[in-house]
Amino acid sequence: MRADSSRVWWTCLLLVLALLSNACAPLMPPPGRGMRLHYTPHGVVGPAFAEGPSTAPGPGGAEGTAWRSALAAHLAFRGAVGDVSGSTRRISGELSRLRASHRGIAGKAVGIFVRYVEYGERQLRWIDAELAAATRLATTASEVDDPDMQLALLRLAGPRLEAAMMGSLLLAVWTDFLLLTDAMLSQHLGGVETLYVKMERWQKMMEPSMNALSSLEPGQVEAAARDVPALVGHLTDEFAALGEAARKGAEVLQNVLVLKETIEALTLMSALRFSLPAVRPAAPAMFGMGLMAGPNGVMMGTRVVVSAEWVEMMRQLVRAGVISLPAVSAAVRIQAGQVMMAESNQDLPQGVRDALGDGPEVRGMRVTGRAGAGMAEPPEHHVLPREFREWFEQRGFTGEMSIDQFCVRLEQSSHQALHGGGNWRLGRMWPGEWNQMIMKALRDAETVAGRPLTPSVILKIVAREMKRHNLPVSFVPWRGR
């Protein structure tokens, strides 16, 4: 366990380093990183994971392959959560600092600006809550020894990670606005009223996307993810304009210098920093061409946009169906800077998409995951029977693990068969009805075990029964009433 957490810690640290150094243009991988982070299924697996569950299937055969790819997805998931947590921690630090900035944002104009810091804190709270929930799901996944169920749990956690990732990018931009406003207020570089009105406007611009992301509604999250690059692009313009306005407002040379220093000293949280020297969209042809996947990651000219490790991590997650390619693409576009951000409908070059895990089967997965070709989605069915909600709650199925998270979509024929309808039986003495059967399996197992079943054991039993019924081990949240 200790080795595990120190490894996770290392991963977080390295990813934060990667992100930090990203923001400062030249990205040289820190020494040793290349040896530590391997997300490929064939790569070296860290010692903590190699120790893994003692019953782990051997490396051979289809089972071994499934196990390895679940493990790779798991590592990548942990890495991505660590990545986002790293940036929320930094944002959290900045927000606390801003709250105490009595000469600036917290003190000016009888504290009317404090609400904007609070807005940031509220966003931070839901992002952190989603990250925590995603982490708990990943932990449960690591305790389940069925690779299909492991992947199913990671996929269940995927939308939370995706929302947190996009939310943290937006929140970083918001924090930058707070930092700049704080600097301007404390240096008397801008009119209080003007700044207030502007902050109000920016918050309004950001709110719909933030709300959509925090809703966790897959359709909304995906739409928001698509919009975020353009939004960030727009905000970047506003940010630059604010700086410009302040510069013009600063009449005395002394003030100009102060402003310059102030802005340069800002430890900007977001992608704004390197997109600020705006590449004006003068030569549209180069945007798509400018980005390419290489051994160091995704490059724009000589600049590393995202590191090779990040790309590999995302590739694993996209290919495992844990997070969606549009969200990852959006993150890359934001990292690539203003021009790519503003081109909301412009897709990444195919080479970069390939590096991020795009492929026919991934696209296929997405089509079946949604309403298909405009067809109505088949109804959802609770895998853990609703009549026994309380029984499951008492055994840890609450919150992100609520039984409402564990539904499957079933076509009519399977659904009837599951409930013993449609004259499906052959024998009479064994009804084989799903709800009865699963509860019998769980209750008798608990009686024999002599102690309450843990969620991971329950899910193991459920995975087994699902396979016997030929149900795909893949869940959708309950949306019905």
Task: Name the residue with tokens 């013993």.
Answer: 420
**Sign of the CA dihedral with 336 first, then 340, 342, and 346 last:** negative
Only segment of 8-16, 36-44, 89-97, 434-442 that touches other proteins (CB under 8 A): 434-442
- Kindly state whether residue 444 participates in binding other proteins, applying the rule CB under 8 A: yes
- Kindly state whether residue 430 participates in binding other proteins, applying the rule CB under 8 A: yes
Q: Which is nearer to other proteins, 35 or 62 (CB)?
A: 62
Q: Is 297 left (phi over 0), alpha (psi -120 to 50) or beta?
A: left
- Kindly state whether residue 437 participates in binding other proteins, applying the rule CB under 8 A: yes
Six-digit token string for 321? 């169906």
- Kindly state whether residue 446 participates in binding other proteins, applying the rule CB under 8 A: yes
- Window 359 to 378, contacts with other proteins (CB under 8 A): 365, 368
User: What gap in Å lies between CA 434 and CA 457, rounded to an integer?
Assistant: 18
Q: Is 235 left (phi over 0), alpha (psi -120 to 50) or beta?
A: alpha
Q: Which is nearer to other proteins, 57 or 107 (CB)?
A: 57
Interface with other proteins (CB under 8 A), residue from 234, 366, 389, 460: 460
DSSP 3-state of 409: strand
Closest separation in Å from C-beta 474 to other proteins: 5
DSSP 3-state of 407: strand
- CA–centroid distance for 93 within its chain: 21
Only segment of 109-117, 181-189, 195-203, 411-419 that touches other proteins (CB under 8 A): 411-419
Closest separation in Å from C-beta 317 to other proteins: 16
DSSP assignment of 351-369 equals: HHHHHTT--HHHHHHHHHH
Q: Which is nearer to other proteins, 355 or 473 (CB)?
A: 473
DSSP assignment of 380-391 equals: EEESS-GGGHHH
- Kindly state whether residue 58 participates in binding other proteins, applying the rule CB under 8 A: no
DSSP 3-state of 402: coil
Q: Which is nearer to other proteins, 41 or 369 (CB)?
A: 369
Closest separation in Å from C-beta 192 to other proteins: 57
Interface with other proteins (CB under 8 A), residue from 34, 449, 452, 479: 449
Q: Which helix (H) or strand (E) holds 305?
A: strand 303-307
Asked if residue 151 lies in contact with residue 321, where contact means CB atoms within 8 angstroms, the answer is yes
The dihedral formed by the CA atoms of 243, 247, 249 and 255, expressed in degrees to the nearest 10: 120
- Kindly state whether residue 445 participates in binding other proteins, applying the rule CB under 8 A: yes
- Kindly state whether residue 450 participates in binding other proteins, applying the rule CB under 8 A: yes
Residues that bind other proteins (rule: CB under 8 A) add up to a total of 47
- Kindly state whether residue 419 participates in binding other proteins, applying the rule CB under 8 A: no
Closest separation in Å from C-beta 472 to other proteins: 5
- CA–centroid distance for 5 within its chain: 20
Q: Which is nearer to other proteins, 34 or 53 (CB)?
A: 53
DSSP assignment of 99-152 equals: HT-TTTTTTSGGGTTHHHHHHHHHHHHHHHHHHHHHHHHHHHHHH---HHHHHH
- Kindly state whether residue 413 participates in binding other proteins, applying the rule CB under 8 A: yes
Q: Which is nearer to other proteins, 262 or 414 (CB)?
A: 414
Interface with other proteins (CB under 8 A), residue from 407, 438, 455, 475: 438
Asked if residue 291 lies in contact with residue 349, where contact means CB atoms within 8 angstroms, the answer is yes
Only segment of 103-111, 286-294, 323-331, 450-458 that touches other proteins (CB under 8 A): 450-458
Only segment of 67-75, 169-177, 269-277, 436-444 that touches other proteins (CB under 8 A): 436-444
Interface with other proteins (CB under 8 A), residue from 207, 440, 452, 479: 440
Nearest CA among 185, 183, 177 for reference residue 241: 177
- Kindly state whether residue 407 participates in binding other proteins, applying the rule CB under 8 A: no
- Kindly state whether residue 410 participates in binding other proteins, applying the rule CB under 8 A: yes
Interface with other proteins (CB under 8 A), residue from 425, 476, 477, 478: 425
Phi, psi of 409 (to 5 degrees): -90, 130
Q: Which is nearer to other proteins, 102 or 468 (CB)?
A: 468
- Kindly state whether residue 417 participates in binding other proteins, applying the rule CB under 8 A: yes
Nearest CA among 69, 7, 119 for reference residue 317: 69
**Interacting residues of 466 by C-beta distance below 8 A, sequence separation 6+:** 383, 408, 472, 473
Q: Is 423 left (phi over 0), alpha (psi -120 to 50) or beta?
A: left
Closest separation in Å from C-beta 380 to other proteins: 13
Footprint of other proteins (CB under 8 A): 148, 365, 368, 408-411, 413-414, 416-417, 424-432, 437-438, 440-451, 457, 460-461, 464-465, 467-474
